[in-house]
């Protein structure tokens, strides 16, 4: 949508080796690897290792990391929080609270040495999906599906969410969606994690704070908003007029435009291809893909707007049977890798992040004399 003014936009707040964005060519790279290359060739586990450690794992390193990521069970205190409120609480307040409670059972709560933080990072990556899936099952009044350490990250996560084994195509689509959302430079939640880490707070605190930022609808809620917009449009035929109407009314067009990319967000065509594949699978409604595609075409023709990561992301999740209001929580499960990588980087050479404000308030004034005093 029309570019919003962004505070600190373009102001460099950190040096990073994790991620780079070429806004003109529309290239996103994790540690030097093109996101399209990773989406085609890597698994989420490999990408998570790459982001945390800086290099792709050897087969032995990958095996050991998979074992770390298979420790997916939740401690009883966290289960109690999720089960206690699942019917009434929102996904993101539950995730925020449950992740905060994970530190209760951390063997060295508060420790910020690299080895501890690297261990905490793997734990968080492993446990967040269990929280999200358990919450989702419990609010439907269904039994939670225990995590299966023999499954890949993506297959286990989808199985826990849905209570039945996904197809290989579904697993791959979900895995790629997780890869594409894992990291995106100095976005608001990642910046939050770095500001918190800058006070030398611990990994759990930084990740909880990042979840707080992602809870904001204009950060973590964009693919949810795009899907709701598609539901409002109802059919691909209605899209042209609907877009015109929204543009005239100066209403936001979700899933379009980006403060950084000047052309196509490189994640959009990858998700588009996955959405297109899934559109004709058993029981999936082709219209959601058709609507998203029409939105992309009409928004470009009518206003020169380009698709971003959120245009097809929600369609992929819809085809995987995941309800709209879970999208931000899935985003958190993926992005926790990027947050953790930035916390490790921040703590490797820590400096507190403490900006200034321009005071525009009242002039100096004296406390009034009290009546009777």
Instruction: Restricting to residues 149-208, name those near its own copies by CB under 8 A.
Output: 185-189, 191-192, 195-202, 204-206, 208
CB under 8 Å to 232, separation ≥6 — which residues?
A: 242
Sign of CA dihedral 160, 166, 171, 173: negative
Query: Residues 10, 107, 141, 283: which binds its own copies (CB under 8 A)?
Result: 10
> Among 104-112, 163-171, 261-269, 275-283, which window interacts with its own copies (CB under 8 A)?
104-112
Q: Which residue in the block uniquely carries the two structure tokens 């990408």?
A: 47
Nearest distance in Å: CB 240, its own copies: 30
Which span sits near its own copies by CB under 8 A: 13-21, 233-241, 246-254, 273-281?
13-21
Cα separation of 29 and 244, whole Å?
Answer: 35
Report the nearest approach of its own copies to the CB of residue 277 (Å). Answer: 21
Give 21 or 290: the residue with its C-beta nearer to its own copies. 21
**Choice between 108 and 241, CB closer to its own copies:** 108
Residues 110-149 touching its own copies, rule: CB under 8 A, are 110
* Residue of 43, 69, 82, 100 that binds its own copies (CB under 8 A): 100
Distance separating alpha carbons of residues 33 and 20, to the nearest angstrom: 9
CB of 310 to its own copies, least distance (A): 14
In the window 329-348, what residues touch its own copies (CB under 8 A)?
Answer: none
| Identity of the residue, 27 or 64, whose beta carbon is nearer to its own copies in the bound complex | 27
Residues 6+ apart with CB under 8 A from 24: 262, 263
- Among residues 2, 8, 146, 348, the one that binds its own copies under rule CB under 8 A: 8
Angle, in degrees to the nearest 10, between helices 309-319 and 168-180: 150
What DSSP element (H or E) covers 29? strand 27-30
Going by C-alpha positions, the residue among 255, 327, 313 that lies closest to residue 90 is 327
Q: Is 271 in the site for its own copies (CB under 8 A)?
A: no
* Segment lying near its own copies (by CB under 8 A), choices 74-82, 133-141, 263-271, 282-290: 74-82
Q: Which residues are catalytic?
A: 219, 258, 310
Nearest distance from C-beta of residue 351 to its own copies, angstroms: 5
Query: Cα–Cα distance between 303 and 112 in angstroms, integer?
Result: 48
Within 19-38, the residues that bind its own copies by CB under 8 A are 19-20, 29, 31-34, 37-38
Q: How far is the CB of 189 from its own copies (least distance, A)?
A: 7
Give the whole-angstrom CA distance, residue 289 versus residue 46: 29
Of residues 78 through 97, those in contact with its own copies by CB under 8 A are 80-81, 84-85, 88-90, 92-93, 96-97
Least CB distance to its own copies at residue 196 (A): 5
Q: Which is nearer to its own copies, 166 or 257 (CB)?
A: 257
In the complex, the smallest distance separating the C-beta of residue 160 from its own copies, rounded to whole angstroms, is 23
Alpha carbon distance 134, 169 (integer Å): 23
Q: Which of 217, 232, 241, 245 binds its own copies (CB under 8 A)?
A: 217
How far is the C-alpha of 64 from the C-alpha of 152, rounded, in Å? 13
SS3 34: strand
**C-beta closer to its own copies: residue 51 or 274:** 51
Interacting positions 347-366 with its own copies (CB under 8 A) = 351-366
Smallest gap from Cβ 113 to its own copies, in A, equals 13
C-beta neighbour count of 116 within 10 angstroms:
17
Q: Quickly count: other Cβ atoms within 10 Å of residue 17's Cβ.
A: 11
What is the SS3 assignment for 150?
coil
C-beta neighbour count of 148 within 10 angstroms: 14
Q: 3-state class of 27 per DSSP?
A: strand
Q: Which of 2, 63, 73, 104 binds its own copies (CB under 8 A)?
A: 104
Number of residues that bind its own copies (CB under 8 A): 97
Of residues 234-253, those binding its own copies (CB under 8 A):
none
Task: Report d(CA 178, CA 218) in Å as an integer.
Answer: 20
**Whole-number Å distance between alpha carbons of 126 and 103:** 14
């Amino acid at each position: 949508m029309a570019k919003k003014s962004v505070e600190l936009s373009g102001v460099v707040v950190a040096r990073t080796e994790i991620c780079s964005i070429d806004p003109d060519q529309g290239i996103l790279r994790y540690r030097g690897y093109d996101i399209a290359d990773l989406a085609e060739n890597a698994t989420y586990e490999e990408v998570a290792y790459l982001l945390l450690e800086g290099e792709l794992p050897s087969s032995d390193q990958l095996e050991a990391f998979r074992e770390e990521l298979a420790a997916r069970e939740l401690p009883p205190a966290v289960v109690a929080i999720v089960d206690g409120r699942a019917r009434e609480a929102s996904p993101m307040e539950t995730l925020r609270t449950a992740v905060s409670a994970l530190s209760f059972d951390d063997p060295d709560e508060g420790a910020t040495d690299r080895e501890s933080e690297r261990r905490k990072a793997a734990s968080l990556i492993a446990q967040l999906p269990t929280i999200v899936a358990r919450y989702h099952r419990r609010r439907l009044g269904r039994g939670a599906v225990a995590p299966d350490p023999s499954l890949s990250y993506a297959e286990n996560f989808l199985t826990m969410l849905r209570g039945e084994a996904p197809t290989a195509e579904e697993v791959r689509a979900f895995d790629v969606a997780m890869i594409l959302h894992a990291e995106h430079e100095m976005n608001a939640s990642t910046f939050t994690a770095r500001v918190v880490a800058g006070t030398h707070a611990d990994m759990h605190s930084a990740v909880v704070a990042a979840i707080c930022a992602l809870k904001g609808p204009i950060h973590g809620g964009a693919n949810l908003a795009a899907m709701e917009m598609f539901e409002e449009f109802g059919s691909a035929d209605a899209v042209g007029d609907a877009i015109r109407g929204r543009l005239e009314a100066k209403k936001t067009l979700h899933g379009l435009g980006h403060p950084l990319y000047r052309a196509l967000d490189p994640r959009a065509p990858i998700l588009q291809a996955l959405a297109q594949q899934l559109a004709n699978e058993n029981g999936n409604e082709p219209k959601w893909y058709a609507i998203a595609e029409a939105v992309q075409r009409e928004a470009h023709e009518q206003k020169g707007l380009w698709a971003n990561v959120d245009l097809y992301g929600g369609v992929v999740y819809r085809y995987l049977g995941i309800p709209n209001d879970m999208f931000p929580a899935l985003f958190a499960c993926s992005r926790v890798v990027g947050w953790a990588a930035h916390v490790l980087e921040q703590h490797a050479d820590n400096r507190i992040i403490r900006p200034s404000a321009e005071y525009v308030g009242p002039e100096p004034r004296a406390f009034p004399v009290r009546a009777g005093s």
